[in-house]
């Protein structure tokens, strides 16, 4: 009864609440993803009363999932597992060179993989719920929107409302894949990453439109034996070192992924056979081309999930171009007690570990007497394409732009992983480069590595860069033999010298 | 190769004394022929066997029965090694380094005698000499050891599948070999006198042993072999005595592999006494100063034969290069032997850099160190339901020095790839705070 009365007079209630002071919760987190959950759990450790609101609006195709956010459900986790499935396909081939007798044919069944991946993701959803319970964080499976700066109205799937008030609010609602709605048929017939990992049946012959995440997807689809094509408007992996991006796509081409470069899709139609007919413009040749696919996946960028939050009511400002929430170095929005972390924030990397770190540090600053701010510099990352690309620090272009090409030195090497030798695998694109300042200390500005286990290789070096590592310090480090990573400690050929950068011998 | 860059007239003498069973190999030394390279490739073969099993859980389908063919693997590996031997010969030729496949021994000051396979002798003189003769596996000195046992010098080119194998020893060589042999489907037993991986962090060494046991390798602990002889046709009979009492046991195996962790330095028969180079009489190793110089000023030494230095390929390479740069290029940089990272390629790989926990406690005192640790489950192991509590990592910090990271240990897949970067960071003086403020790459084990 009380709830009904409050609803009829929302404005009054809000004003009364704001004045009354005592809020239900010390911290309310809107969004139960990587950042939100980390923040909530950390705050709870300080004995605070914390609540989390999490809700998944089904994708246009109807896909939805549980607690945990993008990373767990439709991002990093299922992506890496499917990438692993593809890598294992290569392992099966390699094994034969190493003496394993495997009767042909060898084939891959999507549904076995998808089921296994989906089951694991569901166990993570469950794990998160248990953790929240253990840490006494109240969890609401509701869609939140601001009624006033201290009040969020949560709506369940069935339409039931719950009002939640808090002293501090953290917005961590993340983003969702964009649909190119100006293309006819894009919304009706296309899927996105939100759907790919939850497909029960194989996507079959697939067209992935986009030039970043699309590469990872097309990569593993090719690896498990499907016909996959990437359609790109211009450059691949925008924002990443472009020499490395070319090596990545070159490898994918030799691996079997098809590329439609400099092409723009114009329409998607459904055929009688249920296949999809895609028409596109080849901007280089000026021609119009067409082909049919079983699945069309859009990977053309992500949009912040702020539409239904009612941010104006709370007074939270967003960037007019991107729609993301503007925050300062302490993650505070334009409203002092409202914060934002993760993919929803303007100018921050869209990565799980940064969201988690930002969330934890925020909780410590709010409730743990800490003043430590998040350091967004030199954040390492890895692209899990068939031949992986790991990097930390500046790309060569960025370093040149920042310091001038005369003031930087680039050490590089083409190497061959030992495991590729017996397996007779092509190592043409296995390459690494270190971008350093040229002056006496030779501080390392960026490290780029393409090869197997790129993430494992780069992580430790990222630590080194955090410590201000210089080229001489890296050269003093003895290598571990035989690994790929040791080649980083042996880099000595500069681009400037023009010498052959192929590693020879032991 | 480095010296040749400075236009010095360089000669290399390389010679491989055949093993007791008659095996020999080409240019390149232990690492290339009977060490790191074939070891890692056989380890990879074993890992691929595991990958085949995992792949089914990820949707790959192929016939249930999968068998391994030892000969196919060994042939591929030996071909690759052959290409490396050839590559070295070509490289030496291109750099105008004179190479002789001959056994070298000092006969007088600045003079060395080179004897080739056919017994032809030649004398050479040089301004400076570098001894880098390495070591060979040591035998037990019990009846039957040289006649019947293999060492790592024989295993990697074995022209038949070793079958049911007994590995004697608990060195990293013993455990790595036992590990990949089991991974290839063979019945493997390891006989250990006392502890595993002497010199390594014992907490981790025990975890490695446990993992191997849980994955099908039998361990016979606290026994030493006393006799090896022929058993039933095609098999060897090994008799062993307990180190704790009088119990005697015997077992039969197709192959007995000796890897007792001691290697004999190749320094006894190269005429060092003729030029006055002092060696440690007990170990045969050569003591050098921090510029790799022996007590005889024009004679230097590097690699496995050095006293109190690490027996690792990258260390030898680094020492060699820097030595030459100091001699001929006016450089002053010395080889940095501190915080040298290493990896043991057992089924569950172990990467380490810096102090073991015991060594840290001994050096700094338990109250002055902090050990941070964690078990982790590699994402790739979830779907195939592999062990969820075996992978482990720990860092040891010196509280009195800003919580500087003085020891790093990781037990898990790709341990070498993970450890390398951390070793570089430790070289930069990594502290716990800096570690905490570094963002992880997701999802990988190293994070």
Q: Give pLDDT tens digits for A199-249.
A: 999 999 999 999 999 999 999 999 999 999 999 999 999 999 999 999 999
Using a CB–CB cutoff of 8 Å, tell me whether A422 touches chain B.
Answer: yes
CATH number, span B341-437: 3.30.390.30
The two three-digit tokens of residue B135, written as one number: 């070591």
When CB atoms are compared, the residue of B63, B74, B445 closest to A103 is B63
- For B345-383, strand residue ranges (E) read 350-354, 369-376
The reply to whether residue A460 touches residue B414, judged by beta carbons under 8 angstroms, is no
The pLDDT value given to residue A71? 97
The reply to whether residue B41 touches residue A421, judged by beta carbons under 8 angstroms, is yes
The reply to whether residue A506 touches residue B313, judged by beta carbons under 8 angstroms, is yes
The pLDDT value given to residue A228? 98
| Contact call for residues A422 and A400 (beta carbons, < 8 A) | no
d(CA A97, CA A298): 38
pLDDT band of A12, cuts 50, 70, 90? very low
The pLDDT value given to residue A21? 66
The reply to whether residue A99 touches residue B76, judged by beta carbons under 8 angstroms, is yes
Q: For helices A352-367 and A34-45, what crossing angle results, to 10°? A: 30
Mutation target vs A (from B26, B38, B60; most A CBs, 10 A cutoff): B60
Dihedral of the CA atoms B44, B46, B47, B51 (nearest 10)? 130
> Looking at beta carbons, which pairs linking B6-9 to residues 24 or more positions away fall under 8 Å?
B6/B324, B6/B328, B6/B329, B8/B328, B9/B98
- Quick one: how far is CA A384 from the chain centroid? 10
Domains of chain B by residue range: 2-137+264-329, 145-261, 341-437
Q: Give pLDDT tens digits for A96-149.
A: 999 999 998 899 999 999 999 999 999 999 999 999 999 999 999 999 999 999
**Angle, CA B187 vertex, CA B185 and CA B188 arms, to 5°:** 110
Average pLDDT over residues B398-424: 97
The pLDDT value given to residue B261? 81
Q: Give pLDDT tens digits for A297-345.
A: 999 999 998 989 999 999 999 999 999 999 999 999 999 999 999 999 9
Using a CB–CB cutoff of 8 Å, tell me whether A60 touches chain B.
Answer: no
Q: Which residues of A touch B377 (CB under 8 A)?
A: none
The two three-digit tokens of residue B177, written as one number: 């070999």
The pLDDT value given to residue A15? 46
d(CA B15, CA B13): 7
The pLDDT value given to residue A505? 61
pLDDT band of B72, cuts 50, 70, 90? very high
To the nearest whole percent, how much of chain A has pLDDT over 90?
Answer: 93
Q: Which residues of A touch B416 (CB under 8 A)?
A: 480, 482-483, 485-486
Pick the more confident residue, B235 or A15: B235
- Rounded to the nearest integer, the mean pLDDT of chain B is 95
CATH number, span B2-137+264-329: 3.50.50.60
Cite the annotated binding site of B by residue number.
Answer: 40, 104, 169-176, 261, 304
Mutation target vs A (from B54, B439, B447; most A CBs, 10 A cutoff): B439
The pLDDT value given to residue A344? 97
Same-fold call for B2-137+264-329 versus B341-437:
no
d(CA A364, CA A370): 5
Q: Which residues of A touch B72 (CB under 8 A)?
A: 98-99
For residues B435-446, one letter each, b for 16 or more C-beta atoms within 10 angstroms of the residue's C-beta and e for the rest, the string is beebbbbbbbbb
The reply to whether residue A100 touches residue B88, judged by beta carbons under 8 angstroms, is no
d(CA B415, CA B408): 11
pLDDT at residue B136 above 50?
A: yes
Phi, psi of A39, rounded to the nearest 5 degrees: -65, -50
- For B289-329, strand residue ranges (E) read 299-301
pLDDT at residue A7 above 70?
A: no
DSSP state letter for A75 = S
Chain A residue nearest residue B334, CA to CA? A476
Cite the annotated binding site of B for NAD(+) by residue number.
Answer: 169-176, 261
CA proximity to A296, closest of A388, A184, A374, A379: A184
pLDDT band of A440, cuts 50, 70, 90? confident
Q: Which residues of B touch A461 (CB under 8 A)?
A: 420-421, 424-425
Bond before B443 cis per omega within 30 degrees? yes
- Give the 3-state secondary structure of residue A384: coil
Task: Give the catalytic positions of A in this structure.
Answer: 481
Average pLDDT over residues A265-273: 96
Q: Give pLDDT tens digits for A368-424.
A: 999 999 999 999 999 999 999 999 999 999 999 999 999 999 999 999 999 999 999
pLDDT band of B5, cuts 50, 70, 90? confident
Count of pairs with CB atoms under 8 A, one residue in A, one in B: 289
DSSP state letter for B160 = S
The reply to whether residue A76 touches residue B423, judged by beta carbons under 8 angstroms, is no
- Rounded to the nearest integer, the mean pLDDT of chain A is 94
CA-based nearest distance A315→chain B, Å = 31
CATH number, span B145-261: 3.50.50.60
Q: Which residues of B touch A460 (CB under 8 A)?
A: 418-425, 446
The reply to whether residue A382 touches residue B441, judged by beta carbons under 8 angstroms, is yes
CA-based nearest distance A125→chain B, Å = 15
Using a CB–CB cutoff of 8 Å, tell me whether A485 touches chain B.
Answer: yes
The reply to whether residue B439 touches residue A469, judged by beta carbons under 8 angstroms, is no
pLDDT band of A506, cuts 50, 70, 90? low
**Residue reference for tokens 């690490």:** B310
Using a CB–CB cutoff of 8 Å, tell me whether A467 touches chain B.
Answer: yes
């Amino acid at each position: 009864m009380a709830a009904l009365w409050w609803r009829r007079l929302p404005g009054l209630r809000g004003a009364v609440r704001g004045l009354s002071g005592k809020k239900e919760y010390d911290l309310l987190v809107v969004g139960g993803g990587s950042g939100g959950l980390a923040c909530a759990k950390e705050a709870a450790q300080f004995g605070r009363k914390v609540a989390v609101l999490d809700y998944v609006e089904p994708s246009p195709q109807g896909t939805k999932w549980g607690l945990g956010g993008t990373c767990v459900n439709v991002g990093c986790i299922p992506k890496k597992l499917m990438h692993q499935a593809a890598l294992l396909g290569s392992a099966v081939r390699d094994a034969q060179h190493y003496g394993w007798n495997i009767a042909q044919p060898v084939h891959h069944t999507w549904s076995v993989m998808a089921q296994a991946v989906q089951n694991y993701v569901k166990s993570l959803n469950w794990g998160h719920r248990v953790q929240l319970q253990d840490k006494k964080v109240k969890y609401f499976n509701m869609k939140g929107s601001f009624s006033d700066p201290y009040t969020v109205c949560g709506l369940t799937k069935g339409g039931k409302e719950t009002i939640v008030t808090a002293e501090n609010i953290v917005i961590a609602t993340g983003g969702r894949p964009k649909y190119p709605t100006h293309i006819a048929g894009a919304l009706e017939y296309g899927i996105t990453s939100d759907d790919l990992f939850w497909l029960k049946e194989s996507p079959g012959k697939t067209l992935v439109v986009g030039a970043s995440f699309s590469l990872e997807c097309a990569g593993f689809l090719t690896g498990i034996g499907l016909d996959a094509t990437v359609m790109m408007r211009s450059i691949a992996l925008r924002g990443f070192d472009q020499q490395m991006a070319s090596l990545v796509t070159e490898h994918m081409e030799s691996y079997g992924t098809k590329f439609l470069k400099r092409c723009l899709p114009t329409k998607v139609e459904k055929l009688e056979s249920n296949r999809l007919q895609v028409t596109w413009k080849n901007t280089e040749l000026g021609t119009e081309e067409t082909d049919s696919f079983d699945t069309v996946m859009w990977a053309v960028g992500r949009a912040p999930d702020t539409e239904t939050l009612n941010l104006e009511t709370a007074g939270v400002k967003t960037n007019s171009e991107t729609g993301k929430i503007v925050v300062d170095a302490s993650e505070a929005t334009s409203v002092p007690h409202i914060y934002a972390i993760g993919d929803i924030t303007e100018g921050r990397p869209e990565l799980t570990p940064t969201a988690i770190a930002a969330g934890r540090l925020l909780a410590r600053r709010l409730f743990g007497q800490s003043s430590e701010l998040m350091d967004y510099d030199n954040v390492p990352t890895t692209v899990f394409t068939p031949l992986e690309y790991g990097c930390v620090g500046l790309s060569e272009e960025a370093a040149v732009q920042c310091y001038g090409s005369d003031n930087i030195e680039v050490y590089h090497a083409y190497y061959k992983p030992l495991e590729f030798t017996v397996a007779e695998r092509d190592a043409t694109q296995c390459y690494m480069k270190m971008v350093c300042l040229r002056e006496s200390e030779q501080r390392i500005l960026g490290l780029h590595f393409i090869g197997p286990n790129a993430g494992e290789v780069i992580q430790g070096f990222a630590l080194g860069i955090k410590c201000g590592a210089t080229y001489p310090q890296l050269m003093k480090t003895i290598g571990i033999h035989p690994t790929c990573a040791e080649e980083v400690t042996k880099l000595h050929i500069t681009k400037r010298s023009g010498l052959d950068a192929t590693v020879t011998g032991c | 190769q480095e010296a040749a860059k400075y236009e010095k007239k360089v000669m290399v003498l390389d010679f491989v004394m055949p093993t007791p069973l008659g095996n020999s190999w080409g240019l390149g030394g232990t690492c290339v022929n009977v060490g790191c390279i074939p070891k890692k490739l056989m380890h990879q073969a074993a890992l691929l066997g595991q990958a085949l099993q995992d792949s089914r859980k990820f949707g790959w389908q192929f016939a249930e029965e999968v068998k391994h063919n030892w000969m196919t693997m060994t042939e591929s590996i030996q071909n690759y090694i052959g290409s490396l031997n050839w590559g070295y010969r070509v490289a030496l030729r291109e750099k105008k380094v004179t190479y002789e496949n001959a056994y070298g021994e000092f006969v007088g000051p600045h003079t060395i005698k080179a004897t080739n396979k056919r017994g032809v002798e030649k004398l050479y003189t040089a301004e400076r000499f570098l001894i880098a003769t390495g070591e060979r596996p040591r035998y037990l000195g019990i009846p039957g050891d040289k006649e019947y046992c293999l060492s790592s010098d024989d295993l990697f080119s074995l022209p038949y599948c070793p079958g049911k194998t007994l590995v004697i020893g608990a060195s990293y060589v013993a455990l790595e070999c036992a590990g990949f042999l089991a991974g290839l489907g063979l019945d493997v037993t390891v006989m250990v006198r006392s502890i595993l991986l002497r010199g390594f962090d014992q907490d981790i060494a025990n975890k490695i042993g446990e993992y191997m046991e849980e994955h099908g390798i039998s361990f016979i602990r606290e026994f030493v072999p006393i006799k090896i002889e022929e058993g039933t046709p095609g098999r060897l009979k090994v008799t062993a005595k307990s180190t704790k009492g009088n119990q005697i046991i015997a077992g039969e195996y197709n192959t007995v592999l000796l890897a007792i962790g001691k290697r004999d330095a190749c320094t006894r028969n190269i005429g060092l006494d003729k030029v006055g180079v002092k060696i440690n009489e007990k170990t045969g190793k050569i003591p050098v100063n921090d510029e790799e110089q022996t007590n005889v000023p024009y004679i230097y030494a590097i690699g496995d034969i050095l006293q109190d230095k690490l027996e690792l390929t990258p260390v030898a390479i680094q020492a060699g290069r820097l030595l030459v740069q100091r001699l001929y290029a006016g450089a002053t940089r010395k080889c940095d032997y501190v915080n040298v990272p290493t990896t043991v390629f057992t089924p569950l790989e172990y990467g380490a850099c810096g102090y073991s926990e015991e060594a840290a406690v001994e050096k700094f005192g338990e109250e002055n160190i902090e050990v941070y640790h964690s078990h982790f489950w590699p994402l790739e192991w979830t779907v195939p339901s592999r062990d969820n509590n075996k992978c482990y990592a720990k860092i040891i910090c010196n509280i009195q020095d800003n919580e500087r990271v003085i020891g790093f240990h990781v037990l898990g897949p790709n341990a070498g790839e993970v450890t390398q970067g951390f070793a570089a960071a430790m070289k930069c003086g990594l502290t716990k705070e800096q570690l905490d403020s570094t963002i992880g790459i997701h999802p990988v084990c190293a994070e």
